[in-house]
Amino acid sequence: MTSVARPLIAPSILAADFSRLGEEVAAVAKAGADWIHLDVMDGHFVPNISFGPQVVKALRPHTTLPFDVHLMIEPADPYLEAFAKAGADNILIHIEAGPHAHRSLQHIRALGAKPGIVLCPATPPEAVSELMDVVDIILVMTVNPGFGGQKFLTSQLSKISRLRDMITRSGRDIRLAVDGGIDATTAPLAVKAGADVLIAGSAIYAHADYAAAIAALKPQSAE
């Protein structure tokens, strides 16, 4: 297994208080977050609905941190430009959400955002092997997407390790993110397997002290 020091922490606002989203974004930024993770759900690709580009745009003035926008929508292509214009820095699409991921990722880069690809738990790491030259971020879902507060799937740890090896072999600077059930117990497992971005909703927003919650996700060796 590979160990990656100093993982980035990206709070998922899905677990925030939606009646005060702007304040919630600013609060985690102040508490030491590195990115803000925004989950976009369409009620079709995943069985839940969250928000669209207007909310991303409304939140943009509340922090200068990068916005990591995870599109759980199918199709994604018609909406890429709207999310880029709304202020998304990273735009991530699912490999399972359409046949032309390569084209979509190139489009995201042309829009001026960093392209990312997301894998559901059932998808093998090799599914993204032909995309290594066009992605800046690979996101391994450690739960089935659609809801926060689910249990971390330890079955995904070997996938993280294999993707870390694929990234090393590519020679490219690709971030390897994990999302779903990340807390103080599972974060070190994901980092040991090779993850360098930890996305967490409940483990941060359900905590009274956001700074302490973010610090608790950082492995001791990364302090």
Q: What residues are designated binding site for substrate?
A: 12, 70, 146-149, 179-181, 201-202
Q: Is 179 a residue of the active site?
A: yes
Nearest approach, Cβ of 11 to ligand 5SP (angstroms)?
9
Instruction: Give the span between the Cα atoms of 166 and 46, in whole angstroms.
Output: 28
> What are the tokens at 116?
């990312």
From 24-32, 98-106, 173-181, 210-218, give the range in contact with ligand 5SP by CB under 6 A. 173-181
User: Does 14 interact with ligand 5SP (rule: CB under 6 A)?
Assistant: yes
From 27-35, 170-178, 193-201, 207-215, give the range in contact with ligand 5SP by CB under 6 A. 193-201
Instruction: Give the span between the Cα atoms of 56 and 39, in whole angstroms.
Output: 10
Q: Is the dihedral of CA 164, 66, 46, 208 positive or negative?
A: positive
User: Does 202 interact with ligand 5SP (rule: CB under 6 A)?
Assistant: yes
Nearest approach, Cβ of 168 to ligand 5SP (angstroms)?
26
> What are the tokens at 139?
């996101």
- Residue number with the shortest CB distance to ligand 5SP? 201
**Residues contacting 213, CB < 8 A, separation 6+:** 31, 200, 203, 204, 207
Pick between residue 101 and residue 129 the one whose CB is nearest to ligand 5SP: 101
User: Does 201 interact with ligand 5SP (rule: CB under 6 A)?
Assistant: yes
Q: Is 39 a residue of the active site?
A: yes
Written as one letter, the residue type at 52 is G
- Provide long-range contacts, Cβ within 8 A and 24+ apart, for 40-43: 40/69, 40/70, 40/71, 40/72, 40/73, 40/83, 41/72, 41/73, 41/145, 41/146, 42/72, 42/73, 42/74
Tell me, residue by residue from 75 to 104, as one string, x for binding to ligand 5SP by CB under 6 A and - for no binding: ------------------------------
The single residue among 80, 134, 200, 213 that binds ligand 5SP, judged by CB under 6 A, is 200
User: Does 15 interact with ligand 5SP (rule: CB under 6 A)?
Assistant: yes
Q: Where in the sequence numbering do the catalytic residues fall?
A: 39, 179
Site for ligand 5SP, rule CB under 6 A: 12, 14-15, 37, 39, 70, 143, 145-150, 179-182, 199-203
